[in-house]
Each structure stands twice: as C-alpha cells, then as structure tokens.
Amino acid sequence: MTITTDTAEPNPRARRRRRTRSLAVGTLAGALLSLAATSPAFAHDELISSSPEGGQVLATSPADVVLDFSNDIIEAGTAVIVVDHHGEEIAVGEPVVTGPTVTASLPADLEGDYQVRWRAVSSDGHPIEGTIDFGVGAEATGAWEEQPPHTDEADEADEADEADEATDASTDTGAADGWVIAGAVVLLLALIATIVGVIVRARRKAPGAE
C-alpha cells in the first residue's frame, strides 16, 4: 500500500509579507542602536560652574566672571553682559574663550547686586544662554531685582529734594540761633537791670543819702 503526502507550497504573498515584516523590524532595531550610539554627540553643552556662583555675595569686587562649560566653546557669538540693579550695563572686558572656559574682566568698584547675562555657542554650533546673580558689599543680597532706571527727571527731582532739605535745615538752624541770641539779650538786659537796682538801693541806704 502506498501512502502519498501532499506538501503545500507556502503562499507567495504570505512569504512576501513575512519578509517585509522582518525587514521592517531589522531596520527599526538598527535605527535604535544607531541613535543610542550617537546620542551623546547631539547633547548640547551646558554650564557646569561659574565664578562668582549664583547667589554669591562677595566682600569686594571680583576681578573676573569665569564660566566653565561641559565642552569647548566656539568663540564666535559668545557674549558676557553684566547689569546693575537698574538694568544698566556696566563696562566689562571682552570675553576670552579658552577651550571650555569663558572669562570676562570686571571693574574694581562694584557694589550692590548684579546679574551676569551670558551667551555662548556650544561645540555642536547650538547657542546656549543663561543668567547668574551675585552681589558685592554688606548691603547686597545676591538676588538681582530690577529697579526703575536712572532718568534725568528723577535725578533732578532728587537734587531738588536734597536742596529743599538743606534749605529747611538751614532755616531751622537760623531760627534756633535767633532765639538763642534773643534769649541772651534778654538775660543781659535783666542782669544790667538787676545791677542798676542794687546800686540804686545801696546809694539810698548810704549815710547822708537824701
């Protein structure tokens, strides 16, 4: 007796679908592996430390602002600006880029609260920026808060107020001096009157006085 077994050939369309799915899975896996391997290259550089530090209060003005980044910085486009509590820029030196470090010199007469506004270009060409608050002197807080800027009108008003206060003080002093002089004159006249009275009474009491 002969037994015959039929082996069905796979459907060509099914074979194509399986190959397509396998190819898609392989492509996706390869893309994920490539992304995982190259992702550090796409991470932008970042500021890792600074001097002064954020919120730091110094007894005297620091010589420089020093910014340290996680990778070398591109010099073009790098900027360091420092503003006072009125938001007005103070004179600082041009930023000097040395690898991952950016340095800018500061004036020697700083006092109060200031904000450093920096901008740099990371090694991948992407611009990054940020701010750092710091203070100098006993009255500084290390937290920068913008106050109304200086204006000519405000300065003139302040000067006028100071002049009025000085005039008032001078007037008060003059009035006080006048009262002192008047009091002294009254006392002097009273003393003279007292002396004259004593003399007159003494003459009346003297022997032979009419």
Residue pLDDT, tens place only, 61-104 = 999 999 999 999 999 999 999 999 999 999 999 999 999 999 99
Backbone angles phi, psi at 143, to 5 degrees: -115, 110
Two structure tokens written together for 14: 């099914």
CATH number of 47-147: 2.60.40.1220
Q: Which amino acid is at 137?
A: G
Work out the number of other CB atoms within 10 angstroms of the CB of residue 101.
14
Residue 202: pLDDT over 80: no
Whole-model pTM: value is: 0.55
117-132, pLDDT tens digit by residue?
999 999 888 999 999 9
163-197, pLDDT tens digit by residue?
777 666 666 666 666 777 877 777 888 788 788 77
Q: Which amino acid is at 104?
A: A
Q: What per-residue confidence (pLDDT) applies to 207?
A: 62
DSSP string for 127-144? EEEEEEEEEESTT--S--
- How would you class 138 by CB atoms within 10 Å of its CB: exposed for 0-12, middle for 13-18, buried for 19 or more? exposed
| Rounded percentage of the chain residues whose pLDDT exceeds 70 | 64
Two structure tokens written together for 67: 């910014």
Angle at the Cα of 188 from the Cα atoms of 186 and 193, rounded to 5 degrees: 95
